[in-house]
Amino acid sequence: MKVLQLHVDYVEYEPIKPESSIYEEAERKAYRVEDALLLLTCIEKGDDAVLAKKAIRELAEQAEKLGTSRVVIYPYAHLSPDLAPPGEALSMLRAMRNEARALNLEVHSAPFGWNKRLVIAVKGHPLAEQLRSYEKVEREGTEEIPQALLLEEKLESYWYIITPEGEMIPVKEYDFRGHENLEAFARYEIQKSRAILEEPPHVSLMKRLEIADHEPASDPGNLRWYAKGRLIKSLLEQYVTEKVIEYGGVEVETPIMYDMNHPSLRKYLHKFPARQYVVETEDKRYFLRFAACFGQFLIAKDMNLSYKNLPLRVYELTRYSFRREKSGELVGLKRLRAFTMPDVHAICRDLKQAKEEMKRRLSLSLEVMEGVGLARDDLEMAIRFTKDFYEENKNFILELVRMFGKPVLAEMWSERYFYFVLKWEFNFVDCQRKAAALSTDQIDVENAISYGITYVNERGEKKYPIILHCSPSGAIERVIYALLEKAYLAMMRGEKPSLPLWLTPTQVRLIPVKPEYLEDCLKILDSLEKVQIRADIDDRDESVDKKIRDAEIEWIHYIVVYGEREKESGLLSVRKRAAGGVEKLTLEDLIREIREKVGGKPFKRLPLPKLLSKRPSFR
């Protein structure tokens, strides 16, 4: 079930004519309801009366928070392609109406099965528009629902904007002029709905560029990666790992499957808001990891740690981590069930050391984001904390905001529901004005005790450390999502889309104007490869114009057309994607320019035939 919840100044609807074989009797007149919570409600296959009642109870709580006791239940089939049969849908809507009346709400209901005229005026505050998704528990008995997920649904949050100047302003009162992305991010976070109603632009781009695609033979949210996509992904993996090792990370590798009844692990399962994949054997139940925490904590438990060893930074690039995200939330590269997560934990002796370490890791994450191609202006920051932690550590929280340099969204909890007292993350706001978290870090005050992780202090006493959970980039797949969405936004501004040069599979495309120049192009290609520049040759039996167009479609940064003039002059005709136009460059100048732009980023060879005539199409 999906409900688009709108807090309206007024709503007007008028039944025009029945459009379904099953419809309710209604008078053909205009209805108007003022200052109400309008519930555009879509009933999906599998929904039942229990779910309908649960949904209306939660929506009633929302109505109370918004200061209204008036609801309009409006059948709205446009939120899902997986609709329930008309008879079942009508039955669910009636269950919602009855439950709403039992809760003493003033209930208005638009008739089911009609084509209707609809006019609405939505209020202007950030909580006025919220999309909610309700699902039955799938595969009862094989899925473990963490208590944290259930708590998250009931979580009472207080939302603010914190500025670098130290102001803490309730979201409803903040003037977002000049911070439109922050406003979109705040709306998305406050409504707490991750349902996807239309395909985001990056999905068609990832397919057209032969990066990745859905795998119909697998569980949804598990992708197939083509050669170009695997190259991009591996370069990002290598870059993030190098940055973490440079920061001081100690790289380890741990299993992907763990015993569900292990006492420490089971407790953590219910403290982490994620659904698990469960694997059953003859006598045991296992779960697939959703982060590297389990293995790293079990390693730390068996280590002999002194205060002199801290902070200890343990790192793993998990390929893969698994989370059974709701099917309605899965989309492209943004939200997957199997993903690659760089995960570095810092074991710190106390909160003072943990706070200093967190500042260092925030700087690391900003550096990683810039390195992968996402500037600070592309990101919005969120900080989430308990009220107690905020009151005791205001200056530290403000210092994190100042390091980011822009206003951030703050979520305050009245009490601690999870294992952490503070969490920050960088978020990317995409073309649909929805957000996805990338870099993140958390202050964990619980798991050292749960796992029995200790260190010996100066007096020889065993103490429990504070643990920080950081991913400097977030999931690698989600980084690619953000880069593609950023490229699409550039297209919408009339600019040429591109990936960062160091991540572009083919950096230089050589186009011989005639077959007799192929041998020269092969020599140029060899020179480029020797200095770690990826190049290929379009030797197909096509016109030069078509070859240039195809190279542009692939977002190739440098296109070199080679013919008689180039052979005689020794100068290459180079079409530059970023600057536009064609320049005459020596091969040495071209190499120098590319190497300067790429800098010290990782390099891998192109895992495809160098001649396009020999190259297969993956689509």
CATH 3.90.480.10 fits 168-215+226-254+290-486, yes or no: no
Section 368-373 average pLDDT: 97
Tell me how crowded residue 50 is: count the other CB atoms within 10 A of its CB. 10
| 151: pLDDT strictly greater than 80 | no
Cα(216)–Cα(224) distance, rounded to whole angstroms?
9
Average of per-residue pLDDT values in the chain: 91
The pLDDT value recorded for residue 140 is: 41
Task: Give the CATH architecture of domain 501-614.
Answer: 3-Layer(aba) Sandwich (3.40)
pTM: 0.79
Q: Greater confidence, 47 or 127?
A: 47
Peptide bond just before 320 cis, omega within 30 deg: yes
Q: Which CATH superfamily is domain 2-140 in?
A: D-tyrosyl-tRNA(Tyr) deacylase (3.50.80.10)
List the domain boundaries for the chain. 2-140, 168-215+226-254+290-486, 501-614
Whether the CA torsion 103, 106, 112, 117 is positive or negative: it is negative
CB contact set of 396 (below 8 Å; sequence gap of 6+): 355
State pLDDT tens for residues 439-468: 999 999 999 999 999 999 999 999 999 999
Whether the CA torsion 431, 157, 47, 327 is positive or negative: it is positive
Going by C-alpha positions, the residue among 483, 502, 482, 473 that lies closest to residue 249 is 473
State pLDDT tens for residues 388-432: 999 999 999 999 999 999 999 999 998 888 889 999 999 999 998
| DSSP for residue 335 | B
| 246: pLDDT strictly greater than 90 | yes
| 264: pLDDT strictly greater than 50 | yes
CA dihedral 552, 554, 558, 563 (to 10 degrees): -70
The pLDDT value recorded for residue 22 is: 86
